[in-house]
A and B are shown apart, each in its own frame.
Chain A
Amino acid sequence: AQSVTQLDSHVSVSEGTPVLLRCNYSSSYSPSLFWYVQHPNKGLQLLLKYTSAATLVKGINGFEAEFKKSETSFHLTKPSAHMSDAAEYFCVVSGGSGYSTLTFGKGTMLLVSP
């Protein structure tokens, strides 16, 4: 079985300040991990993914995430927030033998103020 916990339902930052969205996971297998972003009234878009290669993963729009096996974490960061980053972010885990399905976290809403 696998699960994912996003530790904050809402995160508020000011434009130009760093962003940290926290995600912990649980998996019986070597997991693949993802971050998706959802802008208002839109579908989800892949930001970045970890699939057992480099533990520091770079994604689109300046986001990156670090896979830490010892802490079972996959936190999403960005050095400087932009107004256009305001959206909901989902941490997702995939893993298991045979077929693969994704388990979504409950989401973190990122609010960016001027």
Chain B
Amino acid sequence: DADVTQTPRNRITKTGKRIMLECSQTKGHDRMYWYRQDPGLGLRLIYYSFDVKDINKGEISDGYSVSRQAQAKFSLSLESAIPNQTALYFCATSDFSSGVNTGELFFGEGSRLTVL
């Protein structure tokens, strides 16, 4: 089983619909992230959470919201999806429990979202 699991892996929806992408991890990491990837634009940070009570906006948070339901779960919501939110979304985790930066993120397999 994957250490970082994203559901759904693929989703097609219509403009205006509410969508939730879920991420769960079994790595016991304290930090979780949501990134978006568009062709030619690399990975851009949407939101990140350093622990259950600490949630922060990334560089492109408009139109998105998140919830850290537990240390192991971090969900991303699109309240009213629009076509330019069509992208590949990645959840990632990292371990900062020792206070040492390792520069290492562990990514899920991605959720491909298409908004028509």
A and B are interacting partners: no
